[in-house]
Structure 1
Amino acid sequence: MKSLFRYFLFALLIIVCLSGYISSPMALILGFLYTLIFNKPFEKHSAKSIQYLLKISVVGLGFGMFLMETLKTGKEGLTLTILSISTTLIIGYFLAKILKIDKKLGHLISSGTAICGGSAIAAISPVIKANPKIISLSLGVVFLLNSIGLFIFPAIGHYFNMTQHQFGLWAAVAIHDTSSVVGAALEYGSEALRIATIVKLARTLWIIPVSLISMVLFKNKEDKIKIPWFILFFIIAILLNTYLDLPTIFTQTITGISKRLLIVTLFLVGTTLSIQDMKQTGIKPFLLAIILWIVISVGSLLFILN
């Protein structure tokens, strides 16, 4: 009876995640709580499902992006974007070495901080063959700081009397995940929302070159470099959405389903994480993420204000 209830609850939580009524951090928490009570369920199957769902979700999100529009409008933030992404990845690489953090975990945390939080981690983790535990730890660390940013950034913006244009640019660069960028900018004003959304979408395109760089950095000596086909399909999806007159209902449906699949993926990722794993990991990944976040936030703030 207990086993039957365990399976029923697992299926029910999957349906809840598909419903679209819970956030990404909540899905991760639900998965973690489920494992806390029932131990790791379907561990081998979950690991394979995570990899496939991550790839499918990333490709689907491409149908919500317009290449030329995001590149043109995001041109203003191009210099800041290049500086912030390269600085974050370089500092993250050396800090991970200094703190003696797992190389893949450090790279995922750095990539999530540099580009767009969970989406970057989702895209890069299959490329570097990160295991579910590393994915869940990096997502957990990034999502925690991401949630904090949603609340504190508008207050900081008002304190420095930032214009909506300035705040929109800063939010797009310094807040990890697109959802929190939009949430913080929306609270600040409509112009801030417009700037933040466009710059963030343009910034998201950097998933592609960073994924290709990651593929080279984490290539096993005995293996040949394999083309990450899902990244190619991601590019094709963007191009199709940009140059074909696709029905709005089609693109909205595809991106909506992709976001819900990503929520399910995060739930599965949460089921792979345990308190024992967190104890073994220690505080170092959090320290890495906090330092990177402070560097990117303060550095971009000073750049924009001056």
Structure 2
Amino acid sequence: MSGLALTATIAALAFALRHLPGFTAFSPMILAIVIGMAFHNLVGTPVSAKAGVAFSMRKVLRFAIILLGLQLTAAQVAEVGVGGVALIAATLVSTFAFTLWLGRLIGVERPLAELIAAGTSICGASAVIATNTVTRAPDEDVAYAVACVTVFGSIAMFGYPLLQAGLGLDAHAYGLWTGASIHEIAQVVAAAFQGGQQAGEFGTVAKLTRVMMLAPMVITLGLAARARTTGSGQQAGGAPMPWFVLGFVAMVALNSVVTIPPEAKAAIVTLTTFLLTMALAAMGLETDFRKLRAKGIRPLFLGLGAFLFIATFSLMAVKLLG
């Protein structure tokens, strides 16, 4: 079986598993990386599949990120308001900076710390794999980062609805808090709609606004990687520029001026998720548990620290915004 067919098969299996009791709370991307890791470590990824797996991790991933832009419009960003956008941006930047600082403090390698920072501050697994196009960390780092954002995002998904009443958050404030701080889009939707229809819709829009910030974040990391490479005396071209992210921005612009029929949009969303799921399956197929265990528990503590920071910082900001 070719690598492309293998990743597509795993992605299809992940989609199917979501319909079974006990699996509905997990995104297919998360299920795919787990299946991929199990297959690689129990059966072994065939040598003949390596090229197709690499294609899924690179070309398929980048095309999926471009398509992700069709899930957001400028009008949706406007609904969040200047204050809401500023709050989301401040939360993102502060969380990213805090995570890198904490990573240095507890001795987590910068590439892995960057992936955990991106996944926590922006949009979970999608941000992890997009950021890795410039960070270029080992696949084990990607798997560890995805595991972190999955675990703590899931905790937030179940825990936030229990806190809404005690924190005195109305539907608008609760939606903004979920959208500004929970990791995955699916996790935001699940948690936000527990606060009612208005909270769910606003939380989703806030989260998609946060997803849009993936583009400038990845480009900034690419420029920083180039600067570090040049400063170390290596060739300036050593760190790639994520030009595909500009495609993401172009799709946001297109979606803002062209009305896509609901049926077509639903199909695009499903296709985008499926392609991202294939990319995560490929990551799993390249992940060696022995190397993952060698990372130790420090990155898990980093993920926990990042989660607690983004939850607390965004909540305080929502309270201040009123």
Give TM-score scaled by structure 1 length. Answer: 0.89
Q: State the 1:129 CA deviation.
A: 2.7
Q: State the 1:43 CA deviation.
A: 4.4
Mapped pair 1:49 → 2:56:
yes
171-180 or 273-282: which moved more?
A: 273-282
Mapped pair 1:16 → 2:13:
yes
2:274 — aligned with what? 260
Provide the alpha-carbon RMSD of the alignment. 2.5
| Matching of residues 268-287 of structure 1 within 5 Å | 268-287=282-301
Rounded Cα–Cα distance in structure 2 between residues aligned with 1:277 and 1:10: 22
The aligned amino acid for 1:305 is: K
User: Aligned pair count?
Assistant: 302
1:64-117 CA-to-partner distances (Å, cap 9, x unmatched) read 211233234343312321221111111122222222222111111101111111
Query: In 2 relative to 1, CA 245–31 (structure 1 residues): closer, same or farther, beyond 3 Å?
Result: same
Rounded Cα–Cα distance in structure 1 between residues aligned with 2:219 and 2:265: 26
Q: 1:139 aligns with which of 140, 143, 146?
A: 146
Q: State the 1:233 CA deviation.
A: 1.2
Q: What SS class does the counterpart of residue 273 from structure 1 fall into?
A: coil
Mapped pair 1:33 → 2:47:
no
Q: State the 1:45 CA deviation.
A: 4.1
Query: In 2 relative to 1, CA 71–205 (structure 1 residues): closer, same or farther, beyond 3 Å?
Result: farther
Mapped contact 2:7–2:279 kept (Cα < 8 A): no
Rounded Cα–Cα distance in structure 2 between residues aligned with 1:296 and 1:50: 28
Q: 2:111 aligns with which of 104, 107, 119?
A: 104
Query: In 2 relative to 1, CA 250–84 (structure 1 residues): closer, same or farther, beyond 3 Å?
Result: same
Mapped contact 2:7–2:56 kept (Cα < 8 A): no
Q: State the 1:37 CA deviation.
A: 1.3
105-114 or 224-233: which moved more?
A: 224-233
Query: In 2 relative to 1, CA 115–158 (structure 1 residues): closer, same or farther, beyond 3 Å?
Result: same
Mapped pair 1:61 → 2:77:
no
Mapped contact 1:168–1:192 kept (Cα < 8 A): yes
Q: What SS class does the counterpart of residue 281 from structure 1 fall into?
A: coil
The aligned amino acid for 1:165 is: H
Rounded Cα–Cα distance in structure 1 between residues aligned with 2:78 and 2:246: 18
Rounded Cα–Cα distance in structure 1 between residues aligned with 2:65 and 2:82: 24
Rounded Cα–Cα distance in structure 2 between residues aligned with 1:172 and 1:45: 35
1:173 — aligned with what? 180
Mapped pair 1:223 → 2:236:
yes
Rounded Cα–Cα distance in structure 2 between residues aligned with 1:203 and 1:40: 35
Percent pairwise identity: 23
Q: State the 1:174 CA deviation.
A: 1.5
Q: State the 1:11 CA deviation.
A: 6.8
| Matching of residues 193-212 of structure 1 within 5 Å | 193-212=200-219
Q: State the 1:226 CA deviation.
A: 4.7
Rounded Cα–Cα distance in structure 2 between residues aligned with 1:45 and 1:141: 27
Q: What SS class does the counterpart of residue 39 from structure 1 fall into?
A: coil
Mapped pair 1:241 → 2:255:
yes
Give unpaired runs (5+ residues) of structure 1: none
Q: State the 1:44 CA deviation.
A: 5.3
Query: In 2 relative to 1, CA 174–73 (structure 1 residues): closer, same or farther, beyond 3 Å?
Result: closer
Mapped contact 2:73–2:253 kept (Cα < 8 A): yes
Query: In 2 relative to 1, CA 13–209 (structure 1 residues): closer, same or farther, beyond 3 Å?
Result: closer
Q: 2:264 aligns with which of 250, 275, 280?
A: 250
Give TM-score scaled by structure 2 length. Answer: 0.85
Mapped contact 2:115–2:132 kept (Cα < 8 A): yes
1:304 — aligned with what? 318
Mapped contact 2:73–2:252 kept (Cα < 8 A): yes
Give unpaired runs (5+ residues) of structure 2: 19-26
1:116-166 CA-to-partner distances (Å, cap 9, x unmatched) read 112222322113333422222211111111111111111122322321111
Query: In 2 relative to 1, CA 125–10 (structure 1 residues): closer, same or farther, beyond 3 Å?
Result: closer
1:189-236 CA-to-partner distances (Å, cap 9, x unmatched) read 111102101111111111111111100121222123654221111111
Rounded Cα–Cα distance in structure 1 between residues aligned with 2:215 and 2:9: 35
Mapped contact 1:20–1:260 kept (Cα < 8 A): no
Rounded Cα–Cα distance in structure 2 between residues aligned with 1:15 and 1:116: 22
Mapped contact 1:185–1:196 kept (Cα < 8 A): yes
